[in-house]
Amino acid sequence: MSGDTPIDPIDSLGEPTEAELAALAQLLGNGALWHELPAGVEDAVIETIGAEVDLSAPASTRQRPRWLIVAAAIVVAFGLGTLVSLLGADDPDGPGVTEFALASTDLAADATGTVELAELRNGLRIVLTVDSLPPAPEGQFYEAWMRTPDSGVSAGTFHMRGESGSIELWAGVLSDTYPIFSITLEDEDGDASSSGQVVMKADLTQPLDD
Amino acid sequence: MIGVDEMVERFRAGDPDAIREVYRRHAGAVFTVARSITNDRELAADVLQQVFVKAWRAAAGFDGSRDLAPWLYAIARRTAIDAIRKEHRPTQGGHEPEVESVVHTMSFERTWEVHEVRRAIDELPDTEREVVRLSHLEGMTHEQIAGRLDVPMGTVKSRSSRAHKRLAAALRHLRDESPDPANQTELRTVETDEDT
């Protein structure tokens, strides 16, 4: 009885044309279409997103291990003196300031300057003192970077269209792990990556008073 | 199976089950795009992970009534191209004058095509997919496939016929999409640093 036979949806698709079969034969031989998914990526995605969800959740909804609460109590009880002494590090002229020489490249051959770093509670304070670095042309700007040989973190932008002098910037990373400081000339093109046009640089493993 | 609207809503909220569901539906196509652009399995695996994390971060702005696939495709293509740019800047932290190099990437239309073909392949029943793979990738005859799978040749023919019907129907929209000639070849300028 036809009424008892389930209708297979594939029957409504119609037969492929010769042209379609030829096109499929051409497409389906592409090896890139048949690669198996790499193992572990699905779990890595879940873990990464899970960690960010946890971080973005209100503090009251996050579960903390009991040992962490105990450790926090110990820090509060015994660490106040240390905390008070650290507050003094907000003074950029305090003992935490280290100065480095800025070397120019061929792109700004006459420029000279120094960079001072101070590790404060909320980040790395950077004070540039530069001379003869030309103003960035319209449509361009300078960008400071904390770098390793393989990657970099932006430390802010400026244009030098005023007078030579000091510029204060901040970075969320430390020179221990990013031992190179550089300044690049960037286009206002919406591309956040470095242009590679380095105009000045400093080796943060070689302080001036060494 | 979760409906698309509900799945997107739960995906946005970081529900692990919804993330797995989205991943399992789309990872094959995303990985195919990443492999096609990077030509590197390890790099493509990194891109695959980044795409789904980026998609989750941007999901608040996604219209849940729309198909996820084109949106994920756009993220995948951009992420893979960015990965190539980084690979071509091996001395990013050095301080060198700019040296320009040019990277040829597969056109937008071609990567969209492989994305859609992989989606269609992934939606085939396992038994039909295997027949298509053996036939088109390994170049086996129906008789050889029957021997490999230990099934009658009629079964192989039937699976092949059904698979090709499904694939032709799933990919018919590609014939109607007119490619933009401006995107046939995309050139990317890549900056690299060099020591001075």
- Condensed to tens digits (0 to 9), the pLDDT of residues A86-122 reads 444 444 444 478 888 898 888 888 888 899 988 887 7
Q: What is the mean pLDDT of chain B?
A: 81
Cα separations in angstroms, B100 against A176, A195, B192: 31, 10, 7
> Is residue B96 situated within a structural domain?
no
pLDDT of residue A94: 46
Quote the CA–CA distance of B35 and B44 in Å, as a whole number: 5
Q: Quick check: B100 pLDDT over 70?
A: no
> For residues A11 and A2, what is the distance between their CA atoms, to the nearest angstrom?
14
B168: tokens are 């032709």
Quote ipTM for the complex.
0.78
pLDDT digits (tens, 9 = 90+) for A161-204: 876 668 889 898 888 888 889 999 888 887 788 888 888 999 89
Cβ distance A28 to B136 less than 8 Å, yes or no, reads yes
The enclosing domain of B162 has a CATH number of 1.10.10.10
Tell me: pLDDT of B2 over 80.
Answer: no
| CA dihedral (B64, B68, B70, B72) positive or negative | positive
B158 lies in some domain: yes
The nearest CA of chain A is from the CA of B117 a distance in Å of 7
| Residue B128, domain member (yes or no) | yes
Task: Give the pTM.
Answer: 0.56
What is the distance in angstroms between the Cα of B72 and the nearest Cα belonging to chain A?
14
Domain holding B147, by residue range, is 124-178
User: Which of B76, B68, B73, B67 lies closest to B49 in space, CA to CA?
Assistant: B76
Flag whether B184 is in a domain: no
- CA-based nearest residue in chain B for residue A17: B168
Q: What is the mean pLDDT of residues B162-176?
A: 89
Please report residues of A whose CB lies closer than 8 A to that of B133.
34
Tell me if B146 is assigned to some domain.
yes
What domain count does chain B have?
1
Query: Would B172 be classed as within a structural domain?
Result: yes
Given a cut of 70, whether residue A4 has pLDDT beyond it is no
Q: Pick from B48, B92, B95: which is nearest to A150 by CB?
A: B92
Structural domain includes residue B51:
no
Residue of B nearest to A46 (CA): B16
How far is Cα A127 from Cα B21, in angstroms, rounded to an integer?
49
Q: What is the spatial distance between Cα A167 and Cα A184, in angstroms, rounded to a whole number? A: 15
pLDDT digits (tens, 9 = 90+) for A139-169: 889 999 998 877 888 999 998 887 666 888 9
Smallest Cβ distance to A16: which of B89, B132, B168? B168
DSSP string, B154-172: HHHHHHHHHHHHHHHHHHH
Number of CB pairs, chain A paired with chain B, less than 8 A apart: 146
Facing B192 at nearest CB: one of A14, A151, A196: A196
Question: Do residues B136 and B130 touch, judged by C-beta distance below 8 A?
Answer: no
Write down the pLDDT at residue A195.
82
> For residue A209, which phi and psi values (nearest 5 degrees)?
-85, 10
Q: Of B117, B91, B108, nearest to B195 (Cα)?
A: B91
The pair of structure tokens assigned to A114 is: 């120094």
Residue B53 has pLDDT above 90, yes or no: yes
DSSP string of chain A, one letter each residue: -GGGSPPPGGGGS-PPPHHHHHHHHHHHT-GGGGPPPPTTHHHHHHHHHHHHHHHHS-GGGS---HHHHHHHHHHHHH-HHHHHHHHGGG-TTSTTEEEEEEEE-GGGTT-EEEEEEEEETTEEEEEEEEESPPPPPTTEEEEEEEE-SS-EEEEEEE---S-SEEEEEEESS-TTT--EEEEEEEESSS--S----EEEEEETTS-TT-
Q: Is the pLDDT of residue B126 over 60?
A: yes
Are B107 and B177 in contact, with CB atoms under 8 Å apart?
no
pLDDT of residue B181: 35
Residues in chain B closer than 8 A to A53 (CB atoms): 13-14
Interchain pair B117, A27: CB under 8 A: yes
Task: Enumerate domains of chain A plus CATH numbers.
Answer: 41-78 (no CATH), 89-203 (2.60.40)
Residue B143 within any structural domain of the chain: yes
**Distance separating alpha carbons of residues A49 and B112, to the nearest angstrom:** 27
Largest alpha-carbon pair distance within chain B? 69
Of A35, A106, A148, the CB nearest to B31: A35
Distance, CA of B1 to CA of B69 (rounded, Å): 17
Instruction: Give the nearest chain A residue to B44 (CA atoms).
Output: A38
Q: How far is the alpha carbon of A120 from chain B, nearest alpha carbon, in Å?
A: 24
| Gap from A13 CA to chain B (nearest CA, Å) | 6
pLDDT of residue B176: 67
Q: Do A20 and B91 count as a contact with CB atoms less than 8 A apart?
A: no
What is residue A34's predicted lDDT score, i.e. its pLDDT?
A: 94
Which chain A residue has its CA at the smallest distance from B194's CA? A196
Structure tokens given for A159: 């244009």
Whole-number Å distance between alpha carbons of A39 and A57: 29
Contact B85/A193, CB-based, under 8 Å?
Answer: yes
Residues of chain B found within 8 Å of residue A28, distances taken between Cβ atoms: 117, 121, 132, 135-137, 167
Return the pLDDT at B49. Answer: 95
pLDDT at A23 over 60: yes
Q: Which residue, chain included where needed, has tokens 């390890």?
A: B42
| Structure tokens given for A73 | 């109590």
Enumerate residues 6+ apart whose C-beta is below 8 A from B33.
B73, B76, B77, B80, B111, B114, B115
Query: For the segment A44-61, what is each residue's pLDDT rounded down to a tens digit?
Result: 999 988 887 776 655 444
